[in-house]
Structure 1
Amino acid sequence: MLGTLEEILPSLQEDIRVWVMTKESTLPQVDTILDKLEVASDDPVPVNLRIANNLKNPQLYIFTSGTTGLPKAAVISHMQVLKFAAGLWVLGVAPHDIIYITLPLYHGAASLLGIGGCIELGATCVLRKKFSASQFWTDCKMYNVTVIQYIGELCRYLCKQPVKEGAKNHKVRLAVGNGIRADIWKEFLHRFGDIKIRELYGATEGNICFINHTGKVGSVGRTNFFYKLFSPFDLIKYDFQKEEPIRNKHGWCERVKKGEPGLLISKVNAKNPFFGYARNMRDTEKKLLRGAFKKEDLYFNTGDLIFQDQDNFLYFWDRTGDTFRWKGENVATTEISDVIGMLDFIQEANVYGVSVQGYEGKAGMVSVILKPNKSLDLEQLYQHVVTYLPSYACPLFLRLQEVMEVTGTFKQQKFQLVREGFNPSAVSDPLYFLDSCKKTYILLTKELHVKILSGQMKL
């Protein structure tokens, strides 16, 4: 990282001190660490030198992934670090376990739950510098791994690897993570054996967490009276057009019925505080919902849509920034991605909404990359989406990319794609338009783009 550091050093603020893990450095105004560690005392840090004086003091910042906007530095307190560190113990991991971590360590799951959990338990940690789908199970066998950490995309990459004999010949008994889709969940168990999957729900900066202890496929956990007593939350109605919670004539939010997706909000109190973003009051305040059901109410707005079934199991539906409204209907991007991903020539599908001049809401657009040695079948794609999706959810625009931009934790980047939209003059990738008359996707030319914006081509 020294090369990157050298580039940005002149633009850093004067009050920022930079430390590098070396004995000496030629860079100006940079402190070195290794030389000082050699002469430092092994005794505990004296009390008068400790900055933190209570559990709510900040310990570190973790930047949000920035899938639908710019990353923000979430304040992580000592209390949150200790809660994370107890997570593996809660999930049934023991000191004799060997945990395999391939996620980036700037991610809360790897650093706080994974590394922190290993330190808390005294368990063994196997760290890989970078995730490798082809070497994953080889590593697990070599190091006698018993617990793995995942995020949904990681499991999908593993399931896309060629089928090999002895795929179930390993010691992994537990998988801990979040974001695995129901279809990948089932395929993962079928391919790799009887592994207990413990799906979690939570945000780096959030004050609420769900854990699926039962292995119910697709669920992020289950709620009950006692859970809501210690961690109060609600699922409320959301206006996708205005991108804000719906309030009734009295100004209060309204809870959704079971089976209906609602915005997850979590009560902010002394037991469940929200520490916000570092030096960013504007974005901190945007994550708070005031006066939800009473004047003095204060809730953390997760930005996530969750639904609860009749048996009180909870399921992730979509993010509010990802979900969009078209033709008066709410469209869930995850649902469309899953459907398009069923096609044998599609490697990956990233769905988002784009604004179209003269129309309310946002029209569906999908960016796809193809599997190796496969070609794009526009007619088959058209037939597939009109068969499996309601008309309002069928993507009107299609973008063919060679590489899909993702964050360091494999989350799809939408921010830049939304900004670039469907203008063939501004986008170098091939663009296509869903033509209902021709029953296929057709090339989106500059002339066709003009007709869409002028209203000559109806959507």
Structure 2
Amino acid sequence: MVGLNADAVRGPLRRAVATAQNGLEVIRLGGLETEVDPSPFKVVDREPMYRLRRYFADESEGVSKPPVVLVPPMMVSADVYDVTTENGAAGILRDMGLDPWVIDFGSPDTEEGGWSRTLADHVVAISEVVDKVHEHTGRDVHLGGYSQGGMFCYQAAAYRGGRNLASLITFGAPVDTLAALPLGIPAGVATRGAEFLADHVFTRLAVSGWMARTGFQLLDPAKTVRSRLDFLRQLHDREALLPREPQRRFLALDGWVAWSGPAVAELLKQFVVHNRMMTGGFVIKDRLLTLSDLTVPVLAFVGEVDDIGQPLAVRGIRRAAPRAEVYESTLRAGHFGLVVGSTATAQTWPTTGEWIRWREGMGERPTAVHEMRYDEHPDSESGVSVSNRIIHTAASIAEVGVGVGRGLAAAATGAVRGTREISSEAVRTLPRLARLGQMQPHSTVSLGRLIAEQGRKSPTGECFLFDDRVHTYQAVNVRIDNVVKGLIASGVRPSARIGVLMETRPSALAAVAALSRIGAIAVLLPPGGDLDSALAVLDVDTVIADPENLKSATLVAANVLVLGGGDARQLDIPGDSDVIDLEAIDPDSVRLPAWFTPNPGRARELAVVLFTATDRGLEPRFVTNHRWALSAFGTATAAALGAGDTVYCLAPLHHSAGLLVSVGGALAGGSRIALSRGLDPARFSGEVSRYGVTVISYTWAMMQGILDEEHLDLDRSHPVRLFIGSGMPVGLWKRTLERFAPARVLEFYASTENDVILANVGGSKVGSKGRPLPGSARVALAAYDPISGRLEEDDNGFVRMCRDGEVGLLLGRPSSDGEVMSPLMRGVFEPGDSWVPTENLFRRDSDGDYWLVDRKDTVVKTARGPVFTQPIIDALGELPTVQSVVVYGVDIGGDSGVARRLDHADEIAVCGISVRGGNTLPAKTVTDAVAVLLPVQRPDIVHIVDSIPLGRAYRPRASALQKQGIPAPSARAWYYDATSSSYRRLTKAVAAERFGRVDDSAGGSA
């Protein structure tokens, strides 16, 4: 009994002594002495940004082995790849016949200039290392990175276009950061929080090593507490603790380094707030990049229970890089367990080695590697399955009793999702609508002012993209101010009407904004247009031109100012012309006059003059600052534009869709503007991918050339979410939806000179112009007779309002916010009211949506009454083989018997159709297509033409066909037979009998 009692006493005593000894060692040294040495390496290159380690350098020198370069995250020490020789990445990969290299970024707090490092600095450094390793070894490099280091690898591969890279290997590296955020944080909350941190915190504050360590541990507090309790409970058992001691020390003390504030801010802004790893258009050293061009093979390690690099976020690479071979290896591991610990030792690093050997032709594909698939998922999913999470965390919850909060938060997320989305939208929308509602005639608002405002909010923010370069607000405002000085030095003053004859380019935007900043009026002249007719009714004696349009400008203006053209510009100045080169004026030498006040434009004042092409030539349209602001903020609201959007301005700046919708909407929404040199199907897909275009502006049939391009190089992973513009034909609208699914079309109707704006925001009614936009003018449909051109009155002499379904003239109710530039009608529906007429005829359906049916001047006046062109265009435009449709009237009046039989009307409705691929149309197909129209609204003749020309705004033009008169009888022309309600082939006899055509010399199809 005495012996037993002694053993019972000695056992706990020995345990207490061992605990005290080991605890003292931990306190004194930070951990237990393991007597395990790290792998040997040489620092083969030193730069301010990094030190390049080559492991087992003596063994590898002169021996050709596949090189693998490993990249740590910003916040983790490079030793993460070499915790121990036996269990670390470097040692395992070396034993598999590979040549391991590691980039050591050091810690910003110990490196010169470390606190000012940017994210781009890291990416460029990695690219430099790839070049150096390739040059040293003579072999292509396998580039691997953990967590954020993996993100760097993707970005560096895009930066160098995949050159000299054999493969990419990532470990828990998120790509679609908003698909699954740590701890189930809602995307809306995360983006707003990340944006605030990027703009207001990390611009002033860096992250120290202890902050990084604490933050990582707080992401999984249950596991952190459990591991500490386990360590304390086993502190007496040194042999049990030693195998895990290197990993514990790394996580608890040695593995964390500081982050520089600018790098964190850039990371948050580009890849969390804007998620540009997915959408494209991320910026590295002023270069626009996208992962969609990558063709380098990828292996992504996915942790089934990784709550930081969650599976859905990691698998985003499948959609972001559709041209690459993308594989994955899925492990039952958390974020850190992917690269350090028993799972990494047994699975991650051997699989990595086998992958490299397979890509080098030295072995078979690893069994743990399979092609990655990306399945669509509800917003509530993260990719970490419930069963895996329960299995992985059950012990933590049981032992420590934490984690309940996360479960409750996840349950609440679904319940508040709808409210959160509505609230998020309201945060963006309400300030815009409030600004419009508060605008008075004397309010200062203009293009120049809005650019200045955005520049003050975010000087380094990206204003616009052009030719793969990024222009920040700070740079743009400096350029505008310099142009202002040049213009003032050249005699430009407020209220002066100054012509702008320039192609779409940064200098054109700068010229318009500079005129706005002075308070002058930009008269936007379309290059290649009829400039004489454009300037006939305007007092313009000075024109700003780019080098390409300089000669044209000297023919129409007494004074010409030339701007832009780049470094290789060549000016062809006629000898007798008065031309001033604005680029030659030194801004610092210009003293601003006392009268100059930046951005003086008021809402009621004229801002710009645009031109609309008509049969009479180019007619001016006068746009006030209020009208410009209404379009800008209205577009931003209807399209829900935000900082994460890039708006692709396909329309030229001299068109309302360019300056009012694209540029105005993007500025009001805080979005990036992607300026294009014009519509080029070959350039389109590349710019959409590189710029990360989310919204595309269009006019009329602009998308026709894009969709007809055989080699349109965009797949379903494209970033486009919305098309926005006006005039898109119904058939083209449907083709666009099909080709760019799930993107939507937001069709506008806007009267340039007053405040009428309709928008089909929902997009469910293809072809509809929608309803009045909040903040725009109230509208009404007035009963109108297109034949006589008169409004119809009731018994009291007031104009009769149209019923639902009845065609009428669209009127807008002017507000007091802007100066009315169009003729005003008073006493229209009631005494004292005032309305501004548009030129367009609409019908309103029972839901309150408006449908355009025609312009007043293009209605065909036939013997049976008016025939409206747009419903015919919509009906026939839906045929799959039809490319374009125009409807026009042909005058068959005069002294002929035909004219007498048609009484007072002397036109017939003719429809011209162009088809794709040399196809034709059976008469029955034509008959079936127009069956949706009332017989009196069907065209008299339908014929196929070789092509239908598009105007400069991509509007199909009928004038050339109209001049040719009645189409020649042929197998491609049909007339409407009212008796049989069908279309029949147009013969010479029918043409002579019905339409007075007696010979084949005139007219015919184009």
TM-score (norm 2): 0.39
Q: Is 1:369–1:404's contact at 8 Å kept on the other side of the alignment? A: yes
Q: Structure 1: how far apart are the matches of 2:731 and 2:625?
A: 37
Give the aligned partner of residue 371 of structure 1: 916
Task: State the SS of the aligned residue for 2:749.
Answer: strand
Task: State the SS of the aligned residue for 1:72.
Answer: strand
Q: Is 2:550–2:562's contact at 8 Å kept on the other side of the alignment? A: no
Aligned-pair CA distance for 1:411: 0.9
Q: Which residue type is aligned with residue 649 of structure 2?
A: I
Distance 1:272 1:26, change over 3 A: closer
Give the aligned partner of residue 94 of structure 1: 642
- Are residues 1:356 and 2:888 paired? no
Moved more, 100-109 or 354-363: 354-363
Aligned-pair CA distance for 1:130: 1.6
Q: Structure 1: how far apart are the matches of 2:921 and 2:721?
A: 41
Aligned to 1:266, which of 801, 812, 820?
812
Aligned to 1:73, which of 588, 600, 620?
620
Task: State the SS of the aligned residue for 1:302.
Answer: strand
Q: Structure 1: how far apart are the matches of 2:738 and 2:627?
A: 35
Give the aligned partner of residue 610 of structure 2: 62
Task: State the SS of the aligned residue for 2:788.
Answer: coil
**1:326-365 correspondence to structure 2 within 5 Å:** 326-343=862-879, 346-357=882-893, 358=899, 359=902, 360-361=904-905, 362-365=907-910
Q: Quick check: which one's helix share is greater?
A: 2
Distance 1:274 1:33, change over 3 A: farther
Q: Structure 2: how far apart are the matches of 1:44 and 1:85?
A: 30
Distance 1:18 1:249, change over 3 A: farther
- Are residues 1:191 and 2:735 paired? no
Give the aligned partner of residue 35 of structure 1: 583
Paired-residue identity, %: 19
Task: State the SS of the aligned residue for 1:251.
Answer: coil
Aligned-pair CA distance for 1:132: 2.7
Give the aligned partner of residue 281 of structure 1: none
Q: Quick check: which one's strand share is greater?
A: 1
Q: Is 1:207–1:273's contact at 8 Å kept on the other side of the alignment? A: no
Give the aligned partner of residue 410 of structure 1: 954
Aligned-pair CA distance for 1:353: 1.8
Aligned-pair CA distance for 1:305: 2.1
- Are residues 1:207 and 2:749 paired? no
Q: Structure 2: how far apart are the matches of 1:162 and 1:389?
A: 34
Aligned-pair CA distance for 1:272: 5.1
Distance 1:367 1:4, change over 3 A: farther
Distance 1:59 1:389, change over 3 A: closer
Task: State the SS of the aligned residue for 2:688.
Answer: helix
Aligned-pair CA distance for 1:145: 1.2
Aligned residues: 433
Aligned-pair CA distance for 1:239: 0.2
Aligned to 1:83, which of 615, 630, 634?
630
Q: Which residue type is aligned with residue 366 of structure 1?
A: C
Aligned-pair CA distance for 1:173: 2.0
Distance 1:198 1:398, change over 3 A: closer
Q: Structure 2: how far apart are the matches of 1:433 and 1:183?
A: 22
Q: Which residue type is aligned with residue 209 of structure 1?
A: I
Aligned-pair CA distance for 1:45: 7.1
Moved more, 243-252 or 300-309: 243-252
RMSD: 3.9
Q: Structure 1: how far apart are the matches of 2:987 and 2:840?
A: 35
Give the aligned partner of residue 442 of structure 1: 986
Q: Which residue type is aligned with residue 21 of structure 1?
A: L
For the pair shown, the structure with the greater C-alpha radius of gyration is: 2
Q: Is 1:261–1:305's contact at 8 Å kept on the other side of the alignment? A: yes
Give the aligned partner of residue 837 of structure 2: 301
Task: State the SS of the aligned residue for 1:75.
Answer: strand
Task: State the SS of the aligned residue for 2:936.
Answer: helix
Q: Is 1:207–1:300's contact at 8 Å kept on the other side of the alignment? A: no
Aligned-pair CA distance for 1:107: 0.4
Q: Structure 1: how far apart are the matches of 2:679 and 2:831?
A: 48
Moved more, 34-43 or 24-33: 34-43
Give the aligned partner of residue 282 of structure 1: none
Q: Is 2:772–2:779's contact at 8 Å kept on the other side of the alignment? A: no
Q: Structure 2: how far apart are the matches of 1:262 and 1:69?
A: 24
Q: Structure 1: how far apart are the matches of 2:877 and 2:854?
A: 17
Distance 1:231 1:204, change over 3 A: closer
Q: Which residue type is aligned with residue 849 of structure 2?
A: F
Aligned-pair CA distance for 1:265: 0.3
Q: Which residue type is aligned with residue 320 of structure 1?
A: K
Give the aligned partner of residue 798 of structure 2: 252
Q: Is 1:253–1:292's contact at 8 Å kept on the other side of the alignment? A: yes
Q: Comparing both chains, which one has the higher relative contact order based on Cα–Cα distances under 8 Å and sequence gaps of 6 or more?
A: 1
Give the aligned partner of residue 174 of structure 1: 722
Distance 1:252 1:144, change over 3 A: same
Aligned-pair CA distance for 1:99: 1.5
Q: Structure 1: how far apart are the matches of 2:548 and 2:847?
A: 54
Distance 1:148 1:379, change over 3 A: closer
Q: Structure 2: how far apart are the matches of 1:452 and 1:64?
A: 33
Deviations 1:422-459 (A, max 9, x none): 387xxxx99956274996333559x955984499xxxx
Q: Structure 1: how far apart are the matches of 2:816 and 2:976?
A: 55
Q: Is 2:951–2:957's contact at 8 Å kept on the other side of the alignment? A: yes
Q: Is 2:839–2:856's contact at 8 Å kept on the other side of the alignment? A: yes
Task: State the SS of the aligned residue for 2:693.
Answer: coil
Q: Structure 1: how far apart are the matches of 2:873 and 2:589?
A: 55
Aligned-pair CA distance for 1:255: 0.6
Q: Structure 2: how far apart are the matches of 1:24 and 1:354?
A: 47
Moved more, 411-420 or 90-99: 411-420
